[in-house]
């Protein structure tokens, strides 16, 4: 997709002035005299406050300021897209408490890694409807366990419907930010994600202000690009190794390669955003403090790409040692300092478990 076409889609996707201008210089001119306000993306909703990927989590995210909400997409046995961070669901549902499904516990190789548990692709949607969501990190977010058992697994369609209801309630466009999870794995099972996602985008007439599609696998994004849906694409970037689609095809390209100027130029041929881990922008220094920022944000902007960093959390165990406060790993640290640092470097979006904190940090 030509860069000029991408910039038009990106301005529309922003839904406001924060990203309408292209490039650091234009953005500085647009925002002269006031801090840059990046988009706030609710990571699986407001996962810091509610069990992830539930209607309560998405709703609370929007109530507290999220511009976009993120549903991770995995398929059911009858090829319906549902939202779970992983296709293995023992950590996020009460499936282990259902004796009728005990014989479905198994071990599979997902993206080259052995995983044991229960998998969405072994359940029909009707069967998954009998399960209820639970907090994935009960030892870290014990307060969220009060919501265990209250909500069922949502379909992608239900998230789209919820986003539109929330848009009406709050008087602003709330975008959905679906991620294709393990697309190479599911394609091999005969359950490809991209055609079903494309059908949903068309059926709901989702435009560039209402939907941005992300994946760690460039092949998946290229398949979405071939659908000509007119929505922006986001290349997520890991911290080690390379995308599984490339690894499985024998391509030695790593995420580090993709973050070089040459790699970013290649990404810009099919995507509009990159989504690096925040440590790829500001590494932790040898003394436990924030290290010297890399050139990634500037390099991406020079390539015509926007930058959305992930994942911002408030608990000490997810913060650089110098920003930790209190006595335990689960106490909240100085999350505002981390946001301020990345905002100052010009990131265009933050993916966060705590949309309220991200919004306050930008005020």
Domain positions in the chain are 3-85+137-362
- Report the C-alpha gap between 164 and 173 in whole angstroms: 8
We find that the CATH architecture of domain 3-85+137-362 is Alpha-Beta Barrel (3.20)
The reported pLDDT for the residue numbered 107 is 98
pLDDT computed for residue 14 by the predictor: 43
Instruction: Return the HEC string of the chain.
Output: CCHHHHHHHHHHHHCCHHHCCCHHHHHHHHCCCCCCCCEEEECCCCCCCCCCCCHHHHHHHHHCCCCEECCEEEECCCCCEEECCCCECCCCECHHHCHHHHHHCEEEEECCEEEEECEHHHCCHHHHCCCCECCCCCCCCHHHHHHCCCCCCCEHHHHHHHHHHHHHHHCCCCEECCEECCHHHHHHCCCCHHHHHHHHHHHCCCCCCCECEEECCHHHHHHHHHCCCCCCEEEEECCCCCCHHHHHCCCCCCHHHHCCHHHHHHHCCCCCEEEEEHHHCCCECCCCCECCCCCHHHHHHHCCCEEEEEEECCEHHHCCHHHCCCCCCCCECCHHHHHHHHHHCCCCEEEECCHHHHHHHHC
What's the pLDDT at 36? 62
pLDDT of residue 338: 97
| pLDDT given at position 290 | 87
What does pTM read for this prediction? 0.91
Question: What pLDDT score does 25 carry?
Answer: 30
Point out the residues of the chain with pLDDT beneath 70.
1-36
- 240: burial class by Cβ within 10 Å (0-12, 13-18, 19+)? exposed
């Amino acid at each position: 997709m030509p860069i000029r076409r991408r910039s038009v889609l990106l301005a529309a996707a922003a839904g406001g002035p924060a990203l309408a201008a292209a490039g650091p210089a234009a953005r500085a001119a647009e925002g002269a005299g006031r801090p840059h306000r990046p988009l706030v993306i609710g990571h699986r909703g407001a996962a810091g406050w509610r069990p992830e990927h539930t209607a309560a989590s998405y709703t609370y995210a929007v109530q507290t300021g999220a511009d976009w909400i993120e549903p991770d997409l995995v398929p059911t046995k009858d090829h319906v897209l549902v939202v779970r961070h992983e296709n293995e669901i023992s950590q996020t549902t009460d499936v282990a408490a259902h004796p009728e499904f005990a014989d479905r516990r198994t071990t599979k190789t997902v993206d080259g890694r052995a995983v044991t548990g229960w998998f969405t692709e072994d359940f029909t949607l009707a069967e998954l409807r009998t399960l209820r969501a639970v907090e994935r990190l009960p030892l870290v977010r014990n307060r969220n366990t009060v919501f265990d058992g209250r909500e069922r697994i949502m379909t992608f369609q239900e998230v789209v419907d919820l986003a539109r209801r929330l848009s009406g309630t709050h008087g602003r466009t709330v975008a959905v930010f679906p991620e294709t999870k393990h697309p190479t794995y599911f394609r091999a099972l005969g359950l490809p994600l991209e055609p079903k996602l494309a059908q949903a985008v068309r059926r709901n007439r989702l435009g560039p202000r209402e939907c941005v599609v992300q994946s760690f696998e460039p092949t998946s994004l290229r398949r979405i690009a071939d659908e000509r849906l007119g929505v922006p694409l986001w290349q997520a970037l890991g911290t080690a190794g390379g995308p599984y689609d490339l690894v499985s095809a024998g391509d030695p390209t790593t995420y580090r390669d993709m973050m070089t100027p040459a790699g970013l130029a290649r990404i810009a041929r099919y995507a509009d955003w990159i989504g690096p881990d925040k440590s790829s922008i500001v590494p932790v220094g040898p003394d436990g403090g924030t290290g010297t920022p890399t050139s990634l944000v500037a390099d991406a902007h020079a390539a015509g790409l926007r930058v959305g960093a992930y994942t911002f959390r408030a608990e000490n165990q997810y913060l650089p040692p110098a920003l930790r406060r209190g006595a335990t790993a689960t106490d909240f640290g100085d999350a505002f300092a981390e946001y301020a640092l990345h905002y100052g470097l010009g990131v265009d979006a933050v993916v966060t478990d705590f949309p309220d904190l991200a919004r306050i940090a930008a005020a």
